[in-house]
Amino acid sequence: MLFSSDPEWDKSYPPVSGNTVTVFLIDGLSGSLFESEMKAGRLPVLRSMMATGTYVKNGICSFPTMTGYGYYPFITGKDATESGILGLRWFDRSRQGGNFRNYVGRTNLNMNDDITDTIRNVFEMSQPHYTASINTFMNKGVAHNIKTGWSHTTAKYEGRGIFRWLRAVPVLGRYMAPDHFEHETNAMDLALRQLAKNPRVHWVTFPSPDAANHVFGTTAMYTGLLHHIDSLIGVYISETRRLGQQQTRMIAVVSDHGISDVDDNLDFSKWLAAETGLLTERGKSVHILSPELDAPLSDYDGFDGFFVINGNLAGYLYMKDPLQPSHTAWRHNLPPELLEAYPTARGTINLPEVLSKNPKLELVISRGKSGRISIRNGPENLAEIDMDAAGRILYHPVCGNPLLYPETVHDTFLSKSEWLDKTLDSEFPYAIVRIWQLMSKPGIGDVVLTSRKGVDLAYDYEMFVGNYKGGHGGLRREILSVPFIYSIPGGKPGVLNGMTNERMGEIIIRHLNERPE
């Protein structure tokens, strides 16, 4: 048997006497489908968690709204841009080689290596106690890490007794890819074995809703998977009680991002070449041959820029400095003066402005003058954002209103929590803060792009399927806002309108550090 030979099962750890936590991450949870399925009574376990715990209607994700990267705030209490990486894919100008950091495929192990050592996560904080994770590679310091992947879908694990616990799930087997259902069931089986060892921190990812949405869009399979996951969480909670852990174990159900269906796939590099003559290398989607990231910078000598895709609805454009010799040309971010007067064979262009004229792109974000950030939404809308010494952020529309924010928040410095409050119901909730956090990191591209609704930025990009039917990565509300539900032993029920994912991480850490009642 595959996992019975895993020596981790037999390893012993000092017993945990204090509080414990389990985080269930439903990858790619649609807020609107969650709500409608909940109302229809098809998520009974989550509903009963809501009745006794806290329901956060708008949990705010990291930007880019990405798998793995977006898990970081839950395990650290810090925004994901503090992690040292900037998504599942980014371009690190500071390296000698391997500049394109791509954690998709065999190179996923590089993620934990690239993450900063200066912030400790809940796995590291819990050492030397037993901690466990299922299907995440954002788990630096975890004691027991299991990844079932897709190849194990049909594997038969020991102790299939989980089926005893499952109430009738009417959707099982009725859809095109029942393997997603079996895969989640098998992963839960392993999670229950880990639970029996009373992990101080237990992280369980349900990857299938995200995977199903990418390939098929929002179909009946997607909602079927939500019902299935609901019942698996129910099995886990029953087991927590059976093991007598309910007095100490906090349970959080969270997500890394929502989903957005697409029916149009843009070949960005091809479009840019036709429009401007500029050649950009599109960083490839997945590394299957080698876990190494070591391509030399000279590989990109023939290109003017490097285009990085995240979640397929967001992209980073890193431009080469055309005024520098090739060995230093990629080394630094371009000053806004150069980006807005970029020399091409066809003459000088204002690059962000040219990009804003592509009707398939929504937000075009770049560094502006005097440390400000420029946000364009089509050629008619431009705003600048700025931060004062107190950390308050300003939204200053130059023309139009790219983030569609109400006039009451224009031209006034507001704190992060005020921005959360005042933009929760908008099309881009809290996006202004997420944009500032990302753009103030030196490793970010010269231009950050998001696609319009229904468009993705990755024409013919994916292995096997070529074009995706759904994605994430951008800042629209259906991908930036997701539900969170958490229940703390002895806690009171409540409903919150909005909360950031880093705040959720703080609550998890606080629970771990409190003495049980």
Q: Which is nearer to Zn ion, 253 or 512 (CB)?
A: 253
Least separation, in Å, of the C-beta of 206 and Zn ion?
10
**Can you name the residues that pair with 249 across neighbouring β-strands?**
20
**67 near Zn ion (CB under 5 A):** yes
**310 near Zn ion (CB under 5 A):** no
Stretch of residues binding Zn ion (CB under 5 A), selected from 61-69, 73-81, 212-220, 360-368: 61-69
Of 182, 184, 256, 502, which lies in the binding site for Zn ion, with binding defined by CB under 5 A?
Answer: 256
Binders in 398-427 for Zn ion, by CB under 5 A: none
Task: Say how far apart CA 144 and CA 134 lie, in whole Å.
Answer: 9
Query: Per-residue string for binding with Zn ion, 18-57, x by CB under 5 A?
Result: ---------xx-----------------------------
* Buried residues in 471-510 as b, exposed as e (16+ CB within 10 A): bbbbbbbbbbbbbbbbbbbeeeeeeeebbbbbbbbbbbbe
3-class DSSP assignment, residue 267: coil
**Can you name the residues that pair with 149 across neighbouring β-strands?**
none
Q: Which is nearer to Zn ion, 256 or 321 (CB)?
A: 256
- Residue pair 291/285 in contact (Cβ under 8 Å)? The answer is no
Task: Say how far apart CA 372 and CA 481 lie, in whole Å.
Answer: 26
Q: Which is nearer to Zn ion, 258 or 443 (CB)?
A: 258
Interface with Zn ion: number of residues (CB under 5 A): 5
Q: Output 323-326 pairs: Cβ under 8 A, ≥24 positions apart.
A: 326/298, 326/301
Least separation, in Å, of the C-beta of 27 and Zn ion?
4
Q: Which is nearer to Zn ion, 256 or 362 (CB)?
A: 256
Least separation, in Å, of the C-beta of 65 and Zn ion?
8
Per the structure block, which two tokens stand in for 515? 């003495």
Of 37, 210, 230, 456, which lies in the binding site for Zn ion, with binding defined by CB under 5 A?
Answer: 210
Q: Which residue is nearest to Zn ion (CB)?
A: 67
Handedness of CA 326, 457, 472, 235 (dihedral sign): negative
**478 near Zn ion (CB under 5 A):** no
Least separation, in Å, of the C-beta of 68 and Zn ion?
7
- Residue pair 21/249 in contact (Cβ under 8 Å)? The answer is yes
Q: Which is nearer to Zn ion, 68 or 199 (CB)?
A: 68
Per the structure block, which two tokens stand in for 120? 């400790």
Task: Return the DSSP state at 167.
Answer: P
Positions touching Zn ion (CB under 5 A) are 27-28, 67, 210, 256
